[in-house]
Structure 1
Amino acid sequence: MTSSFSITSAIADPGLLDLPWDLPLDAWPDEFIAALPKGISRHLVRFAHLSGHVVAAKETTSEMAHGEYEMLKTLQRLDVPCVEPLAVISNRVDAEGDPLPDVLVTRHLKFSLPYRALFSQTLRPDTATRLVDALAALLVRLHMIGFFWGDVSLSNTLFRRDAGAFAAYLVDAETGKYYDGGLSTGQRENDLEIARVNIAGELMDLEAGGRVDEELDPITVSNGIVKAYRSLWTELTGPESFSSSERWRINERVNRLNELGFDIEELAIRTTEGGTTVRIQPKVVDAGHHQRRLLRLTGLDAQENQARRLLNDLDAYAARYGKKDADEEMIAHEWLAKVFEPVIRAIPRDLRGKLEPAEVFHQLLEHRWFISQNESRDIPLAEAVSSYVNEVLRHRRDEATMIEPSTGMLTLPLSIVDDADEDDWRSKV
Structure 2
Amino acid sequence: MSTILAIWLLSIIIFAFFKLKYSIILYTAYLVLVPFLNVNIFGIHLQYNLINTAIFIGFVLKYHKRIKTIDIQPFKPFLLLFFFYLIMMPFQKEFSFNIWRSNLMTAILFPLIIWNTHKFDSTIYKPLKKTFIICIAIAMLYGIFLTFIPGINPYLMIMLPLNGGEFNEEYALTGGGRVFGRISSVFGHPMMFGLFICLTIVYIYYIKKDIKYYGGYLLLLLAIFNSITCGVRSTIIGMITAIASILILTKKIKLAIGVIIITLLLSQIIQIIPGMEEYVSSISDINNKEQNVNGSSVEMRLEQLNGALKEIRNCPFVGKGYGWTSNYLLTKGDHPVLLAFESYIFIILCDNGILGLFAWAFTLILIYKESRKFKNRGNIIFTLFITYITYSCVTGEYGYLKYTILFYVLILINKDSNNLALKRQ
Fold-level similarity (TM above 0.5):
no
Q: Counting strand residues as a fraction of each chain, which structure ranks higher?
A: 1
Q: Normalising by structure 1, report the TM-score.
A: 0.24
Q: Which has the larger radius of gyration?
A: 1
Q: Normalising by structure 2, report the TM-score.
A: 0.24
Q: Counting helix residues as a fraction of each chain, which structure ranks higher?
A: 2
Which protein, 1 or 2, shows the higher relative CO under an 8 Å CA cutoff with sep ≥ 6?
2
